[in-house]
Structure 1
Amino acid sequence: MKESFDPSSIRTFQSEFTALKNLRHNHLPRYYAVFEAEGNGYLVMELIPGQSLADVLEHQLGQPLAEAQVLGYAIQLCDVLTYLHQQTPPILHRDIKPANIRLTPDGLVKLVDFGLLKQGSEATHSSRRGGTPAYAPLEQWDGIAQHTGPRSDLYSLAASLYHLLTGQAPMSAATRITTHRDPLQPPHQHNPQISAHVSAVLMQALSIKADQRQASVAAFKQALLSGPETSPAPAIKPIRPLTRLKTARSAQRPDWLPEMIDIPAGPFLMGSSNHDAMAEAHEHPQHRLTLPPYTIGKTPVTNSQFRPFVEGDGYTNPAYWTGYGWQWRQQQNRDRPFWWHDQQWNGADYPVVGITWYEAVAYCRWISAQTGREYRLPSETEWEKAARGDDGRIWPWGNRWDPNCCNSEEAGKERTTPVGSYPNGASPYGVLDMAGNVWEWCATHRGKQYPYQIGDEWNTDYLERRGWNDSTVLRGGCWGNAQQYVRGTKRNSGDPCNHYYHYVGLRLASYAPL
Structure 2
Amino acid sequence: MLFRTLATVMFATGLATAAEPPAPPKRANFTQAVELVTRPKGGLPAVTRKAAFDMVYVPGGEFTIGSPDREPGREANEGPRHKVRVGAFWMGKCEVTWDEFDLFLADLRFPSADELQARNRAADAITRPTASYVDETYGHGREGHPALCMTHHAAMMYCHWLRKQTGRAYRLPTEAEWEYAARGGADSAYAFGADPKTLGRYAWFKDNSADADHPRGTTHKVGTKKANAFGLHDMYGNVAEWTLDQYDPDEYSARAKSPLSVSPVTVPVAQRWSHVARGGSWADKAEQCRSAARRVSDKSWQKWDPNEPQSIWWLTRMDVIGFRVVLAESEQPELVGLRPKVVETSK
Please give the range of the TM-score, normalised by the shorter of the 2 chains.
Answer: 0.5 to 0.7
Q: Aligned partners of 1:335 and 1:270: how far apart in 2?
A: 38
Q: In structure 2, what is the Cα distance between the partners aligned to 1:338 and 1:473?
A: 25
Residue 149 (structure 2) aligns with: 354
Contact 1:338 1:354 in 2 (8 A): no
CA contact (8 A) 2:72 2:287 kept: no
User: Does 1:467 find its partner at 2:264?
Assistant: no
The residue that corresponds to 1:491 in the other structure is 294
Structure 1 residue 245 corresponds to structure 2 residue 21: yes
Structure 1 residue identity aligned to 2:140: W
Counterpart residue identity of residue 504, structure 1: I
Bigger share in strand: 2
Distance 1:239 1:338, change over 3 A: farther
Cα deviation for residue 399 of structure 1 reads 1.8
Amino acid at match of 2:252: Y
Residue in 2 aligned with 1:365? 160
- What is residue 340 of structure 1 aligned with on the other side? 136
Distance 2:133 2:83 in 1: 37
TM, length-normalised to structure 1: 0.47
Q: Contact between 1:438 and 1:505, CA under 8 Å: does it hold in 2?
A: yes
Counterpart of 1:386 in structure 2 is 181
Of the three residues 191, 201, 219, the one matched with 1:396 is 191
1:443 is aligned to 2:207: no
- Tell me the SS of whatever aligns to 2:148: coil
Rg: which structure is higher? 1
Q: Give aligned-pair identity as a percent.
A: 26
| Contact persistence 1:314–1:363 (CA under 8 A) | no
2:185 touches 2:191 (CA, 8 Å); kept in 1?
Answer: no
> How far 1:405 moved relative to its partner?
2.4
Out of 230, 249, 262, the residue aligned to residue 429 of structure 1 is 230
Structure 1 CA distance for aligned equivalents of residues 32 and 123 of structure 2: 35
The aligned counterpart of 1:264 is 59
Alpha-carbon separation, structure 2, partners of 1:502 and 1:325: 26
Please tell me whether residue 507 in structure 1 is matched to residue 324 in structure 2.
yes
1:416 aligns with 2:212: no
Q: 1:430, 1:374 → 2: CA distance? A: 22
- Larger relative contact order (CA 8 Å, sep ≥ 6): 2
Residue in 2 aligned with 1:191? none
Q: State the SS of the aligned residue for 2:252.
A: coil
CA deviation map 1:113-169 (0-9, x unaligned): xxxxxxxxxxxxxxxxxxxxxxxxxxxxxxxxxxxxxxxxxxxxxxxxxxxxxxxxx
Task: Report the CA distance between 1:304 and its aligned residue.
Answer: 0.5
CA contact (8 A) 2:146 2:222 kept: yes
Count of aligned pairs between the two proteins: 266
Cα deviation for residue 294 of structure 1 reads 1.2
RMSD over aligned Cα atoms: 3.3
Question: Which residue of structure 1 aligns with residue 340 of structure 2?
Answer: none
CA drift of 1:396 comes to 2.8
Q: Distance in 1 between matches of 2:235 and 2:124?
A: 26
| More off after superposition, 448-457 vs 479-488 | 448-457
Tell whether the 8 Å contact from 2:59 to 2:87 is kept in structure 1 after alignment: yes
**Partner residue of 1:407 out of 193, 196, 204:** 204
For the 8 Å contact 2:31–2:54, the answer to whether it is kept is: no
CA distance in 1, matches of 2:109, 2:176: 28
Going from structure 1 to structure 2, the CA distance change for 1:364 and 1:477 (only over 3 Å counts) comes to same
* Cα deviation, residue 457, structure 1: 3.8
> 1 or 2, which has the higher helix percentage?
1
Instruction: Answer yes or no: is the 8 Å Cα contact 1:315–1:334 preserved in 2.
Output: no
Tell me the amino acid that sits aligned with residue 207 of structure 2: E
2:99 aligned to which of 298, 304, 326: 304
Residue 421 of structure 1 aligns to a residue in which SS? coil
Alpha-carbon distance in structure 1 between the residues aligned to 2:247 and 2:71: 22
Give 1:338 shift: 5.9
Q: Deviations over 1:91-132 (max 9, x none)?
A: xxxxxxxxxxxxxxxxxxxxxxxxxxxxxxxxxxxxxxxxxx
- Provide TM-score, normalisation by structure 2: 0.67
Give the direction of change, closer, same or farther, for the CA distance of 1:301–1:252 in structure 2 (3 Å limit). closer
Once residues 325 and 32 of structure 2 are traced to their aligned partners in structure 1, the CA distance between those partners, rounded to angstroms, is: 19
The Cα shift of 1:382 comes to: 0.6
Return closer, same or farther for 1:442/1:252 CA change in 2, 3 Å cut-off. closer
Cα offset, 1:406, TM superposition: 0.9
Any conservation in 2 of the 1:245–1:253 contact (CA below 8 Å)?
no
2:214 aligns with none
Contact 1:340–1:346 (Cα < 8 Å) also in 2: no
Q: Deviations over 1:54-81 (max 9, x none)?
A: xxxxxxxxxxxxxxxxxxxxxxxxxxxx
1:380 CA displacement: 0.6
Gap change, CA 1:303 and 1:252, over 3 Å in 2: closer
1:10-59 per-position Cα deviation (integer Å, ceiling 9, x unaligned): xxxxxxxxxxxxxxxxxxxxxxxxxxxxxxxxxxxxxxxxxxxxxxxxxx
Which segments of 5 or more consecutive residues in structure 1 lack a partner in the other structure?
A: 1-236
**CA spacing shift, 1:488–1:338, aligned 2, 3 Å:** farther
